Amino acid sequence: MNSELLRVIVADDSGTVRALLRQWLSPELGFEIVGEAVNGRQCVELVLRLRPAIVVMDMDMPEMNGVEATREIMWRQPTPILIFTSSEIDKDRGVFYEALAAGALDIFYKPRLTNDEEVNLATSRFRRLLKLLAPIKMIRRCLPRPLTAEPAVLVPAWPARPQRLPEILAIAASTGGPAALSAVLSQLPPGFPLCTLVVQHMAAEFMPGFVEWLGQGVKVPVRAASRGELARPGEVLVAPGDCHMRLGAGGRVELDVSAPVNSCRPSADVLFDSVAEASGPAAMGVILTGMGEDGARGLLNMRRAGALTIAQAEESCVVYGMPKAAADRGAAVHVMELGEIVRFISTLASPVGDL
């Protein structure tokens, strides 16, 4: 029986929270808390010694915070990490996205313990999420160098710079997306000639902070899309939380709260389908790391409409789900490592020549 339990390490300096998690993750419910840490350093030591299936970690801890601990774990013993945090995040939003960029898989709010209905809903969602994240095979990340530090290596399938430059760049990502998107957008030069439309699967309450974090260190404007605005070159528009984003007639952005597609809102398929219809061959679609199949069908429609389409290769994905679905359907003209995608997109700003 014990071999079937999901082995968890809990890291939180609050004894109350650790006691709560012991209730939520009891053996009767299929979990075993194999270690408890009160700071990030202790958490890293427990992960190295006990090798759990997943880590549930607070961000604000003494000695070593959650971001630093996440980086250490991803370097020394890559393990799925779920951030378990207070909902009062406005005081320092960036720390959570730094943790996601460092390799943490998702963020979960600590519920208000005074609201029984909220607690019951949260416990069920929390356990489902742990079971979903725990099987993910994590990638070792080097501490000293950022994701894009090494120049990409040309491969035989390297695409020539298109003779007709696209006008729209549509990008979709899910699990692992914050780091991948940051790697891509940070390399866009000032005056990048395309409008970039982004769908990132993330809880709505985290999206404003995510957009703000994503724009740090980027040389082009990054903001949440607004209904009816024109998709202008040199700007990055991110789908707001819990809203589908479409490219409509005349290059204007459309937002709506129609039913989720592939259990997602915003949905990559919704964005890609609209770009295929509105821009046809004057577009480029990129599907990055993520769980599930959202975006595969829409990317195929973009390819059929004449767009250049790219899926991230398995080796650089945190989760090879969405890109795999796209590749399996024949939706991607090219399957490329993240560094290669970054380099190719950045060349679209060059006025002359192929790669």
Q: Pick the catalytic residue: 58, 174, 182, 316?
A: 174
Q: Are 352 and 322 in contact (CB under 8 A)?
A: no
Give 261's contacts (C-beta < 8 A, 6+ positions apart).
Answer: 244, 267, 269, 270, 294
244 is catalytic: no
Q: Are 66 and 57 in contact (CB under 8 A)?
A: yes
**CA–CA gap between residue 303 and residue 156 (Å, rounded):** 20
Q: Are 53 and 105 in contact (CB under 8 A)?
A: no
DSSP 8-state assignment for residue 61: -
Tokens representing 154 are 């040309």
Name the one residue in this structure whose structure tokens are 């959202």: 294
Q: 143: helix, coil or strand?
A: coil
Exposure of 112 in the CB half-sphere (CA atoms within 13 A): 6
Q: Pick the catalytic residue: 12, 182, 201, 316?
A: 201
> Would you mind telling me the total number of residues written for the chain in this entry?
355
**CA–CA gap between residue 336 and residue 170 (Å, rounded):** 16
Q: Pick the catalytic residue: 106, 244, 294, 334?
A: 294
Residue 309's closest CA among 284, 330, 291, 327? 284
230 forms beta bridges with 252
Residue type present at position 141: R
Residue 275's closest CA among 248, 238, 300, 306? 248
Residue 281's closest CA among 162, 171, 149? 162
Q: Known catalytic residues?
A: 174, 201, 294
